[in-house]
Amino acid sequence: GAVVSQHPSWVICKSGTSVKIECRSLDFQATTMFWYRQFPKQSLMLMATSNEGSKATYEQGVEKDKFLINHASLTLSTLTVTSAHPEDSSFYICSAGVGGWTTEAFFGQGTRLTVV
């Protein structure tokens, strides 16, 4: 199946700093990618839809100025958590679909962010 790769797998940062998470589709092109956030013992919550070459669409309650999304190419979307605070500590996951004959979504392995 198609492969979606996230980097880094985990990161620890200090409060007030920014962290960038990359999501790559390794063997297919993805015009749309999705970013999810998952707090401990909770389900995945969609944060935003990342569209190649255009602005991301954010879900209600997600601050677009805090969670910057860039989808500059068909194989790369980035999520930057700006001025991170401890409450931003979470598991961030991206996904993408191939389109055409296959219909499932492929997920990255996730990035665990810890803000200290």
Partner 1 sequence: DAKTTQPPSMDCAEGRAANLPCNHSTISGNEYVYWYRQIHSQGPQYIIHGLKNNETNEMASLIITEDRKSSTLILPHATLRDTAVYYCIVTYNNAGNMLTFGGGTRLMVKP
The binding site for partner 1 (CB under 8 A) comprises 1, 4, 6, 30, 32-34, 36, 43-46, 49, 91, 93, 95-100, 102-110, 112
Nearer to partner 1, 111 or 115 (CB): 111
Nearer to partner 1, 81 or 97 (CB): 97
Beta strands in 1-116 (DSSP E): 4-7, 10-13, 19-25, 32-38, 45-51, 57-58, 67-73, 76-81, 90-99, 102-107, 111-115
Question: Any bridge partners for residue 22, and if so which?
Answer: 7, 78
Nearer to partner 1, 2 or 82 (CB): 2
Query: Peptide bond preceding 8: is omega within 30 degrees of 0, i.e. cis?
Result: yes
Nearest distance from C-beta of residue 33 to partner 1, angstroms: 8
Nearest distance from C-beta of residue 15 to partner 1, angstroms: 23
